[in-house]
């Protein structure tokens, strides 16, 4: 029977199938367990690790992957719109402040460039590195991905375009914002890659960007277009 203290009993010795429901900021999680009750047990305690439940939850995982994919797409919008940080849709205020300095570098060299074209091709995420935890009263996540961009630039008074495409292994640190109810990029680290890095990742998933748009900046118009 159920008592006023939310305790159940008495329980006879044996094995029981138990379903646990855990609710937190990220959602509602269900867990099934088998619990053994021995003779003489007056009370059975069940410990629940909601960080572990969140980490294993496919919905939470997809939300984290979607957040890094959004950032990857926003990045080239930012870079082809005079490095205006308003084009980032899921970053923290701290990241927005740091990236704002890139605008000064762009103002210096843009006079030597006629046109820039950028295209985000997609990413491969290392799922073994995906981590989700509840730390200091907030939800945080970390993920690693091999990202690929197809870019080219036309230097002023030069014929043709210079290929400036690149691949990087990018590590994202995120925090969950309860107000907007979404994951925000809180920090970022990346190193150059040759594209083979993901070959050694046993547990991975590909984020395909079907028919990716080409973002364009031109010096004459000094604005972006998408085509």
Q: Summarize pLDDT for 33-57 with one digit per residue, the tens.
A: 666 666 655 566 666 667 778 888 8
H or E segment and range at residue 189: strand 182-192
Six token digits for residue 179: 């107000």
Instruction: Tell whether the model's pLDDT for residue 4 goes beyond 90.
Output: no
Q: Contact, 207 vs 65, CB < 8 A?
A: yes
pLDDT for the residue 14: 65
pTM assigned to the model = 0.83
- Higher pLDDT, residue 49 or 64: 64
Whether the per-residue pLDDT at 8 is higher than 70: the answer is: no
Q: Report residue 118 as tokens.
A: 């950028």
State the Cα–Cα distance between residues 105 and 177, nearest whole angstrom: 31
The residue behind tokens 């870019």 is 151
Q: Does 5 or 144 have the greater pLDDT score?
A: 144
For 6, list phi and psi in degrees, rounded to 5.
Answer: 60, 35
Please report which confidence band the pLDDT of residue 76 belongs to, taking 50, 70 and 90 as the band edges: very high
- Please name which of 163, 142, 146 lies closest in space to residue 67, comparing C-alpha atoms: 142
DSSP state, residue 2:
B
Which one is predicted more confidently, 169 or 14? 169
What pLDDT band is residue 206 in, cutting at 50, 70 and 90?
very high
Average pLDDT, the chain: 86
Contact 50, 29 (CB under 8 A): yes
Q: State residue 10's pLDDT score.
A: 59
Whether 5 shows a pLDDT value over 90: the answer reads no
Residue 145 is predicted with a pLDDT of 98
- The residues pairing with 204 across neighbouring beta strands, listed in sequence order, are 126
Half-sphere exposure of 122 (CA within 13 A, CB side): 12
Tokens of 208: 């395909």
Q: Is 223:214 a contact under the CB 8 Å cutoff?
A: no
Q: What is the pLDDT of residue 157?
A: 85
**How large is the average pLDDT for residues 17-42?**
68
């Amino acid at each position: 029977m159920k008592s006023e203290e939310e305790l159940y009993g008495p329980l006879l010795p044996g094995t029981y199938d138990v379903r646990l429901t855990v609710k937190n900021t990220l959602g509602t999680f269900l867990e099934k367990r088998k619990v053994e009750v021995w003779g003489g047990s007056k009370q059975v305690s069940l410990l629940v690790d909601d960080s572990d439940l969140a980490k294993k939850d496919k919905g939470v995982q997809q939300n984290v992957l979607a957040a890094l994919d959004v950032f990857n797409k926003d990045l080239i919008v930012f870079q082809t719109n005079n490095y205006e940080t308003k084009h980032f849709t899921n970053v923290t205020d701290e990241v927005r402040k740091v990236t704002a300095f890139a605008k000064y570098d762009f103002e210096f060299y843009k006079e030597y460039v006629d046109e820039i074209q950028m295209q985000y091709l997609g990413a491969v995420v290392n799922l073994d590195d995906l981590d989700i935890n509840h730390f200091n009263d907030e939800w945080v996540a970390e993920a690693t991905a091999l990202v690929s961009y197809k870019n080219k630039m036309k230097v002023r008074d030069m014929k043709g375009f210079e290929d400036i495409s690149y691949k990087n292994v990018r590590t994202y640190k995120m925090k969950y914002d309860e107000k907007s109810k979404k994951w925000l990029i809180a920090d970022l680290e990346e190193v150059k890659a040759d594209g083979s890095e993901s070959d050694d990742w046993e547990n991975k998933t590909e984020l395909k960007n079907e028919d990716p748009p080409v973002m364009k900046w031109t010096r004459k118009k000094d604005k972006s277009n998408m085509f």
